[in-house]
Each structure stands twice: as structure tokens, then as C-alpha cells.
Amino acid sequence: GMISRKTNTLGLILPDIRNVFFPELARAIEDVAQKQGYSVIVCNSDNDREKEESYFQLLQEKYVDGIILAGEVTDNQVQTLKDRGIAFLVIDTIVDFMPVLSVHTDHINGAFLAVTHLIEQGYRRIAHIRGPAASSTAENRLEGYKQALSKAGIAYDSSLVQMGDYQIESGHDAMNKLLVMSNPPDAVFVANDLMALGAMDIISDRGLKIPDDIGIIGFDGLQLGSVVKPKLSTVAQPIYEIGTIAAEMLIESIRNPEKEKNSVILQPKLVIRDSSTRGK
Ligand code: RIB
């Protein structure tokens, strides 16, 4: 049979190393890898497809035994990896055209929990700052937002949905747009914590009080959200668990390539702090 060259090295491609979510994830992956005798090469793609492709090539030249891709991955990329015969696992992307190794949080349910919480706190005009257009995490979080509104009998209003790109600055911009509306929202569910922190900054610049004038809740569960005032409520993803499970699954599959490729879906947890608790 074919002689395969093992290097005991994994590649990890992150979409945005400035988002603390990803270094936390990388830490978990590295912990498992190290215990199992693997080292990890970390690449930051900055969500740039060309950079991503050059990292794929680089990782192949280094003969990594497997690759973990975090963030949005296209069907094309998945197909290419499959064709090249590299063991790989995706985090966050849901691939349905072939069985692949994947780990992700239940983004729909997480968003549903966040928005239901805001409704229970008496907020009624709830806006959403969503993630980017071609992102399944963004689409799923939007879906959970819609489901929570619908369950509470609140009509969905697309003018209350602003698009961001998961970075702080886009949280600024989106919140600015929401606050200049003639009928502004009384709460906002933001699709990740970084954008929520950007939005909080604008809210206080405008002299509005959180959570009395406007409630806010993020998504991810970054520690950063617990050191701002008021402390940011959030939907915590089990980041460390996502990373450890991903690394374990990939290493298992490298050692046992015939094993069936499966998906693991983890449940998020609502973390209620001060930015969303106005009471009724
Ligand atoms: O890729 C950006 C976002 O997706 C992160 O903030 C985290 O929510 C991840 O799931």
C-alpha cells in the first residue's frame, strides 16, 4: 500500500486572530494536540480567500497530518480538501453535501435563548446586529432571533436588522444606524460579543443608559464582556470544549481514516449579566 509520511503536526486556520474567540479555541486545540504528541501550526486568514488558499498549500508542503478550519468554509474548499486527501475538520460551518468531521454550537437555539430573555425582561422593540451575508453562523443566529419573536407574537421587522462583519467597528456602525431611526429599538441582540462591545460604546456615547433605555446581549461568552460596565450579557459557546472535541476527533480520524465522519453539536448557555436585566 501507500506509504504515508506522518509529521505529527496539525494545521489550524483561523479567520480572525483579533477575535478572542479564536485564540481561546486555539488554546484548547493545542492542549489536546500537545498531550497526544502533536504540534500545531496556526494560520490567520483574515477572512481572505487567497490567504487561505496559500496557507492550504503551505500546510500541505509541511505535510501536516490534518487541518482544522474555523469560521466560514465554502463547499468548494471542502471539496478541494477532500480531493487532496487531507484529513480535516470544520468548526462552525455546517456541511450537508457530504459527511465531514465538524463541531459547532447550536447557533439557532443560542439566539432563541437570548431574544426570549430580552422579551421576558419586558423589551419589545428588539433589534438584531447580525453577522456577514455569506455566513451560516450569522444566518442561524438570525433564524433564532426570528423564532423567538414569532413565539412571543412580535412581528419581524427587517428595518431592525443591521449587518455587521463580526468585528468591533461594525458594531459601532450598525448601532449608530439603529439609534438614528425615528422609532429606535429598546433592545438589541448582537450576533457576537465584539460587535456588542462596539455597540455599547456608541450607546453610552449618545448618553443612553444600559439596560434602562436600551438592553443589549451578545453571543460567544468572551471574558472581555465581564469587565465592561455594565457587564455584557451573552450566549456563551463552550469554546474550550469545541476546541478539545475538534482536536480529539481529528486526531482520531488521522489514526483511523476509515472511521465514519460525524458532526458534533454543542449547546450554548445563556449568561445573564447586567446589560439586559431591566426587570418588568
Ligand atoms: O467567526 C466569527 C464568530 O463565529 C465568532 O465571534 C464566534 O461567534 C464564531 O462562532
* Residue 88: strand, helix, or coil: strand
CA 105 to ligand 1: nearest atom = 10
Task: Determine the pLDDT at residue 2.
Answer: 54
Task: Determine the pLDDT at residue 60.
Answer: 86
Q: What is the mean pLDDT of each run of 10 residues along the chain (280 residues)?
A: 76 95 97 97 91 89 93 88 92 92 97 98 98 93 98 98 97 98 98 98 97 98 97 98 98 95 97 89
Could you tell me the residue ranges of all domains in the chain?
Answer: 9-105+237-268, 107-236
Conformational region of residue 207, where left means phi above 0, alpha means psi within -120 to 50, and beta covers everything else? left
pTM, 2 dp = 0.95
Read off the C-alpha cell for 155: 412581528
Distance CA 64, CA 56 (A): 10
Read off the C-alpha cell for 268: 450554548
Question: Which CATH number applies to 9-105+237-268: 3.40.50.300, 3.40.50.2300, 1.10.1060.10, 1.10.3720.10?
Answer: 3.40.50.2300
55-78: pLDDT as tens digits = 988 998 888 999 999 988 888 889
User: With respect to CATH, is domain 107-236 assigned 3.40.718.10?
Assistant: no
Strand partners, 233: 217
**Is 162 within 8 Å of 138 (Cβ atoms)?**
no
Ligand 1, atom 10, residue with closest C-alpha: 92
Task: Determine the pLDDT at residue 280.
Answer: 54
248-273: pLDDT as tens digits = 999 999 999 999 999 999 999 999 99
DSSP 154: P
Distance CA 218, CA 197 (A): 8
Task: Determine the pLDDT at residue 3.
Answer: 56
**Is 92 within 8 Å of 151 (Cβ atoms)?**
no
Distance in angstroms between the alpha carbons of the first and the last residue of the chain:
69
Distance CA 250, CA 215 (A): 40
Distance CA 250, CA 246 (A): 6
Q: Which of 221, 260, 246 is nearest to 40 (CA)?
A: 246
Same fold yes or no, 9-105+237-268 and 107-236: yes
Answer whether 137 contacts ligand 1 (Cβ < 6 A).
Answer: yes
Task: Determine the pLDDT at residue 73.
Answer: 87
Question: For a pocket test of ligand 1, which of 13, 18, 68, 92 has the largest count of ligand atoms closer than 8 A to its C-beta?
Answer: 92
How far apart are the CA of 69 and the centre of ligand 1, in A? 13
**Is 85 within 8 Å of 66 (Cβ atoms)?**
no
Task: Determine the pLDDT at residue 1.
Answer: 40
